[in-house]
Amino acid sequence: MSMFGLKESEIATLVRAVSVDGGGNLDRASIENRFARATWSGLAEPGDRLAGRAIQQLGSARSLTAVVEHWDAEQFATELSADGDPVSGDDMRQAIDRWMPRLKSDTALIALRQAARFGSRLLIPDDSLWPERLHDLDWHAPSALWVRGTDAALAGIVDGIALVGARAATGYGEHITMEASAGLVDRGYTIVSGAAYGIDGMAHRAALASHGLTVAFLAGGVDRFYPSGHDSLLSRIVENGAVISELPCGSPPTKWRFLQRNRLIAAASIATIVLEAGWRSGSLNTAGHAAALGRPLGAVPGPVTSAASAGCHRLIRDYDAVCVTNPDQMAELAPLDRAPETDATMTTPESQPPTNLPPESSAPKVDADSPPSTETTRLLDALSVRSARTADDIASRSGLALATVRAHLGLLELDGRVVESERGWKQASQSRTA
At 109-119, the pLDDT tens digits run: 999 999 999 99
CATH code assigned to 374-431: 1.10.10.10
Where does residue 284 fall: left (phi above 0), alpha (psi -120 to 50 degrees), or beta otherwise? Answer: alpha
Is 182 within 8 Å of 174 (Cβ atoms)? no
- What integer is the mean pLDDT of 374-398? 79
- What integer is the mean pLDDT of 382-397? 81
Confidence of residue 375 (pLDDT cuts 50, 70, 90): confident
CA distance linking residue 116 with residue 363, whole number of Å: 35
CA distance linking residue 27 with residue 291, whole number of Å: 40
Residue 101 pLDDT more than 80?
A: yes
What is the signed CA dihedral for 334, 336, 342, 346, rounded to 10 degrees? Answer: -30
Residue 367 pLDDT more than 90?
A: no
Q: Which of 98, 77, 71 is nearest to 89 (CA)?
A: 77
Distance from the first to the final alpha carbon of the chain: 46
Residue at 365: amino acid letter: K
CA distance linking residue 164 with residue 354, whole number of Å: 19
Is 394 within 8 Å of 405 (Cβ atoms)? yes
The structural domains of the chain, with segments of one domain joined by +, span: 2-117, 150-333, 374-431
Residue 154 pLDDT more than 60?
A: yes
Q: Which of 192, 119, 184 is nearest to 160 (CA)?
A: 192
Residue 363 pLDDT more than 90?
A: no
pLDDT digits (tens, 9 = 90+) for 341-356: 444 444 433 333 222 2
CA distance linking residue 397 with residue 383, whole number of Å: 9
Predicted local distance difference test score (pLDDT) of residue 82: 83
Q: Which of 257, 245, 261, 283 is nearest to 163 (CA)?
A: 283
Percent of the chain with pLDDT over 90: 63
Is it true that the peptide bond before 227 is cis, omega within 30 degrees of 0? yes
Confidence of residue 430 (pLDDT cuts 50, 70, 90): low
Say which residue, 277 or 22, is predicted with more confidence. 277
For residue 41, the SS3 value is helix
Q: Which of 329, 325, 317, 333 is nearest to 366 (CA)?
A: 317
Confidence of residue 1 (pLDDT cuts 50, 70, 90): low
> What's the sign of the alpha-carbon dihedral 80, 83, 89, 93?
negative
Percent of the chain with pLDDT over 70: 88
Q: How many residues does the chain have?
A: 434
Is 224 within 8 Å of 255 (Cβ atoms)? no
Confidence of residue 411 (pLDDT cuts 50, 70, 90): low
Residues ≥6 apart with Cβ < 8 Å to 221: 111, 114, 146, 245, 247, 248, 249, 250, 251, 252
Q: Which of 331, 315, 319 is nearest to 160 (CA)?
A: 331
Phi, psi dihedrals of residue 245, rounded to the nearest 5°: -145, 150
Q: Does domain 150-333 bear CATH number 3.40.50.450?
A: yes
pLDDT digits (tens, 9 = 90+) for 11-55: 999 999 999 876 678 889 999 999 999 999 999 999 999 999 999
Predicted local distance difference test score (pLDDT) of residue 380: 81
CA distance linking residue 354 with residue 306, whole number of Å: 4
Confidence of residue 424 (pLDDT cuts 50, 70, 90): confident
Predicted local distance difference test score (pLDDT) of residue 400: 77
What is the overall mean pLDDT for the chain? 86
Confidence of residue 308 (pLDDT cuts 50, 70, 90): very high
Which of 123-132, 164-173, 334-343, 376-385 has the lowest average pLDDT? Answer: 334-343
For residue 160, the SS3 value is strand
CA distance linking residue 80 with residue 264, whole number of Å: 25
Confidence of residue 369 (pLDDT cuts 50, 70, 90): very low
Residue 358 pLDDT more than 60?
A: no
Using DSSP bridges, classify how beta strands 242-245 and 322-323 pair: parallel, antiparallel or unpaired.
unpaired
Is 237 within 8 Å of 218 (Cβ atoms)? no
Is 8 within 8 Å of 16 (Cβ atoms)? no
Q: Could you tell me the CA-to-CA distances from 159 to 189, 200, 255, 270 in Å, in that order? A: 5, 18, 28, 7
Which of 23-32, 87-96, 243-252 has the lowest average pLDDT? Answer: 23-32
Predicted local distance difference test score (pLDDT) of residue 412: 76
For residue 112, the SS3 value is helix
Strand order in the sheet with 121-123: 121-123, 145-149, 242-245, 214-217, 190-193, 160-164, 272-274, 297-299, 322-323
pTM of the model: 0.82
CA distance linking residue 258 with residue 384, whole number of Å: 18
Residue 216 pLDDT more than 50?
A: yes
Confidence of residue 225 (pLDDT cuts 50, 70, 90): very high
pLDDT digits (tens, 9 = 90+) for 331-344: 999 999 754 444 44
Residue 434 pLDDT more than 50?
A: no
Predicted local distance difference test score (pLDDT) of residue 416: 77
Buried-exposed string 318-339: b where 16+ CB fall within 10 A, e elsewhere: ebebbebebbbbbbebbeeeeb
- What integer is the mean pLDDT of 259-272? 95
In 118-174, DSSP assigns E strands to 121-123, 145-149, 160-164
CB atoms closer than 10 angstroms to residue 423: 10
Predicted local distance difference test score (pLDDT) of residue 372: 55
